[in-house]
Amino acid sequence: MVARIYKPSKSAMQSGMGQSKKWVLELEHDMSKSIEPLMGWTGSSDTKSQVQLNFQTKEEAILYAKRNSIVFTVLNHNSREHIIRENGYGDNFSFNKKIPWTH
């Protein structure tokens, strides 16, 4: 049983970084997946592949894996810097705006 420890990237459907703050320990698949003949769905009888554990820090995830004798690999993430523009959209609603914003 091998685990991957990684920090998930943000979803393409969101602009914020909401679900990408925690570290995830995910067990890799031991068995190959099979295609169900009637509906064509992909499935597996390996229930361990459905397990994802969330941790606040990378060190907590590594400590958990070592404590439970789980072989793991750590995938480093590319951090993204927040883009905050001067005079951006949020400045339209600022309390100290000099000129009133109207259409």
What is residue 5's predicted lDDT score, i.e. its pLDDT?
A: 94
Query: pLDDT averaged over the chain?
Result: 82
Can you name the residues that pair with 55 across neighbouring β-strands? 23
Q: Tell me what the mean pLDDT of segment 81-94 comes to.
A: 74
d(CA 58, CA 7): 8
What is residue 25's predicted lDDT score, i.e. its pLDDT?
A: 93
Q: What is the pLDDT of residues 24-68, one digit of tens each?
A: 999 887 677 788 888 888 877 777 777 899 999 999 999 999 999
Name the pTM for this structure. Answer: 0.65
Residue 19: pLDDT above 70? no
What is residue 59's predicted lDDT score, i.e. its pLDDT?
A: 95
Residue written as token pair 């509906």: 39
Q: Residue 71 to residues 27, 46, 59, 76: CA-CA distances in angstroms?
A: 10, 18, 15, 17
CATH of 1-31+46-78, one of 3.40.50.300, 3.40.50.80, 3.30.70.141, 3.30.160.190: 3.30.160.190
Residue 9 phi/psi, 5-degree rounding, is -85, 165
Residue 21 in contact with residue 80, Cβ under 8 Å?
Answer: no
